[in-house]
Structure 1
Amino acid sequence: MFKACIFDMDGVIIDSEPMHFEIDLIMTRQLGLNLTHEDLEKYVGMTNPAMWKYIKEAHMLEPSVDELSRMQMDMKLRIFKERDEKPIEGIVPLLQALRSDGYPVGLASSSPVLFIQAVIEKLQLQPYFSVIVSGEEVPQGKPAPDVFLKAAQLLQVEAEHCVVIEDSRNGVAAAKAAGMTCIGFMNLNSGLQDLTRADFIVDSITQITVSKLKNL
């Protein structure tokens, strides 16, 4: 039985993956690496430290993971504040409908707390989320289930009664590992993501309604 909805943020609440790809490509080039958009797609849904850990080890980079993550975050916050970003189509009506019907809503993102706060404040979405959890606040980020389990715990809802909306392979894997129902949102701007493990796949958030969530 559906009792709570948990949203991913990047690629679900806001179409920010193109910006992430853009900045990550700039950074990797500044570090002397010749990575492509496709090379970075496998990291979608992971925390920034996890991504940099893999890249640092693969290319023997000198800066620490913390230094790389800080450089990346500084650049993302600066660029995000300069841009006119809006919620993905269908997100606000869905959040309004969930609130109107009394369903608790959580946000479980791999992004750092500072970036999550910047997005939620800029888009004025604070009233809709009962809990917000960053992947950097739990022992393991996606594809591990920790961030979703923490959100469910804070929402005081059993994992089996939570529905997750995700746009990445790593996010879907995390939701299923948590024992939750998962709706995969096929956002083409998130790269070529394998969402086949999701229970349902949509190509628009507007296809998700409270009545449909109740029937899952």
Structure 2
Amino acid sequence: MIRTVIFDMDGVIVDTEPVHRYAFFKHFDELGLHITDEEYATFTGLSTRNVYQKLNEAYNLGEDIESFVLRKRAIFNDAFDEKEDLDLLDGVRTLIEDLHQHGFQLILASSAAKVTIARVFKRFGLDPYFSDKVSGEDFVRSKPDPAIFEHAASLSKAPKSECIIIEDSNNGVKAARAAGIYCIGYNSEHTALQDLSEANQVINHFSELNAEKIRAIVTE
């Protein structure tokens, strides 16, 4: 019986991807980088720091990674505050409230920086529903490395066998499977070019899930 649900954030709870994309590509232009959509898609699920580490290895940017991270974050924060139409993904608040009402423990495990997570949770009033929030910036390696999900599961009051993960990215699904945790892939219209075939099941809308259906999932 499932008792803990671990949520990714970007592309699962809220679609900040267009804001991230805008910030990244504005900064790529500043750096003189010409990144294709296909290459950008491989960054999904990575922390900002890991994205710039990959870019530095590929393009020998020759500057301090932290300066890149801070510049991209500044562009993102300005755009985030100005984006009035930013909202939670359709159906996810209903699911979160239903799970909370039925006694599930909810944990966030996102590659996003702590400051970004805090902005999203404050804007949409999500703090009362989640017992813990885990940021990818606390880990050396990003998804598909399973460390973030293994840590999130260690915060669960239930054993790992009674946890599931909801993810929308190829890297996230691979990380969930590597952590040995049942994974529901969310086939979001906002997340392009992602392979969810390794997920235990795939949904196209959060209306396909509720507390009863999730509690009945058998992970072993």
Superposition map of 1:62-77 within 5 A: 62-77=62-77
CA distance in 2, matches of 1:159, 1:203: 25
Alpha-carbon shift at residue 4 of structure 1 (Å): 0.4
In the superposition, the TM-score normalised over structure 2's length comes to 0.94
**Considering only aligned residues, what root-mean-square deviation do their CA atoms show, in Å?**
1.2
Q: Give the structure 2 partner of residue 203 of structure 1.
A: 204
Q: Give the structure 2 partner of residue 13 of structure 1.
A: 13
Residue identity opposite 2:137 in structure 1: E
Structure 1 residues 160, 140: CA separation in 2 closer, same or farther (over 3 Å shift)? farther
Q: For residues 50-78 of structure 1, give each alpha carbon's deviation from its aligned partner in whole angstroms, at most 9, with x where no partner exists.
A: 11111111111132211111111111111
CA distance in 2, matches of 1:103, 1:131: 13
In the superposition, the TM-score normalised over structure 1's length comes to 0.96
Q: Give the structure 1 partner of residue 161 of structure 2.
A: 160
Residue identity opposite 2:139 in structure 1: V
Q: Give the structure 1 partner of residue 30 of structure 2.
A: 30
Alpha-carbon shift at residue 37 of structure 1 (Å): 2.3
CA distance in 1, matches of 2:166, 2:35: 29
Q: For residues 30-56 of structure 1, give each alpha carbon's deviation from its aligned partner in whole angstroms, at most 9, with x where no partner exists.
A: 110111222200010011111111111
Superposition map of 1:4-153 within 5 A: 4-84=4-84, 85-153=86-154
Task: Count the aligned residue pairs.
Answer: 216
Alpha-carbon shift at residue 156 of structure 1 (Å): 2.7
Residue identity opposite 1:56 in structure 2: N
Q: For residues 86-134 of structure 1, give each alpha carbon's deviation from its aligned partner in whole angstroms, at most 9, with x where no partner exists.
A: 1111111111111111110000000010000001101111111000000
Segments of structure 1 that go 5 or more residues without pairing to the other structure are: none
Paired residues of 2:167 and 2:186 also in contact (CA < 8 A) = yes
Segments of structure 2 that go 5 or more residues without pairing to the other structure are: none
Paired residues of 1:105 and 1:130 also in contact (CA < 8 A) = yes
